[in-house]
Chain A
């Protein structure tokens, strides 16, 4: 499996990187850590590049390289990269420009073969979408954003599962909340939930929400199948059947002490864009980390 972890700054990206690496380890995934620098107006793009080349002549770091160096040190401190790479240290001159605005530094990992550090610049959604399309990542991990539109665009346009590490508190004892129903996306979400629960060693709440008082057979079966999978994986779990709008039920049950893992919407993308989806509504207001499995 391939994971993409998008980081923004040293100050705010530590939880994203820490949680991202932990989940990636559970999946034994190869990891790419990506910093996307701000978009430069097309009017000034060439002169900015010229100025940055001049900075390199003065042995000055390009913007974003310090963030990648911080990520390197993070990986080194937790031994996610091999001892010989740690000993060599962060070599910024090893950042190789692989295309227009993309530079890459390849490291040898300990939990998987490859760990890549990537530097990009431009609109974050465009850049992540392009990175995912080019390298076929399974999961994109990103920190929470204050921009409501960001959640919508991530779910709508990035063609991989999305894990948004919203407001993660190390002191908190989290549970895992997994909404299950009879949709096609649920089985994959449950599989991912198993790995995440194992990675964090936390109990799982399986919640099935229905607008009606009566729960159909398909809903009950979906919940039972998920429960069976949890039991076989040795994960402590509980089944819940709640009446109400799914997104409201999920937000209420998740509170601020759950990591939510849910399947992606099976709605037509056009409908999803104009009318939203349960996933987008949950993610937009989520005060908790949320993984949407595609």
Chain B
């Protein structure tokens, strides 16, 4: 009786923890036997079923990420959507290399101790005014995350921000607004900056892969910057205004904190040869991205950077192995392979047609309407999933909508970075949230303002500025 109760108890526990896995499985089995809707191939129908299963599992995370990734991969084969070879070919591509390289570079860069230099740089530029320091944090975070990935920058800048807060007052109750101001400046600055260049985030590279799949010449590194970087610069003062109006800091000046931070930074000593070499190697990677990425791919260049860091002993493989989330890499590979099947099976075309038919052609020929639909779909999904997974799954559908593929793809990629609303939407937000000084409702307080402004801005920006570039 006791053993039976224990078994029942364990079974109930497993069911309660895996309820979404069970729901996704039941959904998959039921819909597998339902005939495909008119106008959609059986492969396309089953690809959509797999995509829905994947979305349920990614949002609820009932099992570890690699498990979800493998489910996506094996279902493509078992459901007859594609054979094993074509799934595996689609699984590994330059975007996956880039995500892998980017996560590895993050480990290498964080270990170099650049944070002290960055802290000093910010303070020299801003002085002790709280408003200027917050603006300095968001600007530096945005500029850096344009090139080295938002999570890396958030991890580097978090201790600087927290040290400044702690040095201002040890009593957390006296710095709740200041903490929110500084930490959101870092997190949102990272999000804003991550759209600035193709190397700012995995989602940017995923969209470049999809452009190639659709026979569209992707934007070069420079061309991307010309298209998007002004938007980064426009958003920064708006961010400063939103945060300043949402969180009224308890201290208008942080003289004491700044003074003590300078002392702390001074203890780290002069810049070392190792730090100089690390910076030089990153410069090499950056130059490679700008001038050689069209030939070799952003991912290959990122991995070249990793190799350089390893051979020069700036980072140990053990550290990379320990800190890189292999599950995320495998999942993005799987999501991209699913995205490719969404296109190849005709599911993307069919889904895009649903949108077209529901809206009417006359409406969708107005670019701002198409943009609004893209923004609605992408922002909602990106705040529930991850931004890269959103672009991987939605990208093929969006590229089937009317309008210039560069325009629609770029809008989707940019708004996927608008993960302002929740703490889980972007790694940079999760990182600042994990320090325990923010509440989840703070993200909504600041997020809805920043989200609304950013959405309004991209609608105008994309339909005015980009017209001049075409």
Contacts and interface: CB of A to CB of B under 8 A. Distances in A.
Given A55-B158, A55-B162, A269-B12, A38 B61 contact: no
Contacts of B427: 43-44, 47-48
Interface in A127-147: 129
A268 B8 contact: yes
B151 A129 contact: no
Contacts of B162: 55, 58, 60
Contact of A49 (B8, B115, B323): B323
B8 A270 contact: yes
Q: Which of A38, A47, A58 has the most CB of B within 10 A?
A: A47
A156 interface: yes
B167 to A, nearest CB: 11
Interface residues of A, number: 33
B16 A273 contact: yes
Contact of B115 (A43, A54, A270): A54
A129 B13 contact: yes
B436 A46 contact: no
B25 interface: no
A287 interface: no
B18 to A, nearest CB: 12
Contacts of A216: none
Given A63-B436, A270-B12, A40 B430 contact: yes
A51 B158 contact: yes
B327 A42 contact: yes
B328 A50 contact: no
A275 to B, nearest CB: 12
Interface string A42-72: 1111111111111101101001100000000
Contacts of B424: 41, 43-44
A52 B154 CA distance: 11
A269 B65 CA distance: 30
Contacts of A47: 103, 106, 151-152, 154-155, 325, 427, 430-431
Given A57-B159, A60-B159, A46 B13 contact: no
Contacts of B327: 42
A79 interface: no
Given A47-B151, A157-B13, A38 B434 contact: yes
B166 interface: yes
Nearest to B13: A157
Interface in A15-55: 37-38, 40-55
A153 interface: yes
Q: Which of A45, A53, A58, A126 has the most CB of B within 10 A?
A: A58
B107 interface: yes
A50 B155 contact: yes
Contacts of B110: 50, 53-54
Interface string B144-180: 0000000110111011101100100000000000000
Contacts of A48: 427, 430-431, 434
A44 B430 contact: yes
Q: Which of A41, A57, A157, A159 has the most CB of B within 10 A?
A: A41
Nearest to A10: B172
A37 B433 CA distance: 12
Given A42-B61, A50-B110, A64 B436 contact: yes
Contacts of B5: 268-269
Contact of A52 (B115, B160, B324, B434): B434
Given A43-B430, A269-B12, 12 more contacts: A38-B434, A42-B65, A42-B327, A47-B106, A50-B151, A51-B154, A54-B158, A58-B163, A60-B162, A63-B434, A269-B8, A273-B12
| Interchain residue pairs A-B with the least CB separation, the first 3 | A63-B436, A51-B155, A46-B325
25 contacts: A37-B434, A38-B433, A41-B61, A41-B430, A43-B328, A45-B325, A47-B152, A47-B154, A49-B323, A50-B107, A50-B151, A51-B154, A54-B110, A54-B115, A55-B159, A57-B113, A58-B159, A58-B163, A60-B159, A156-B12, A157-B13, A268-B5, A269-B8, A270-B11, A273-B12
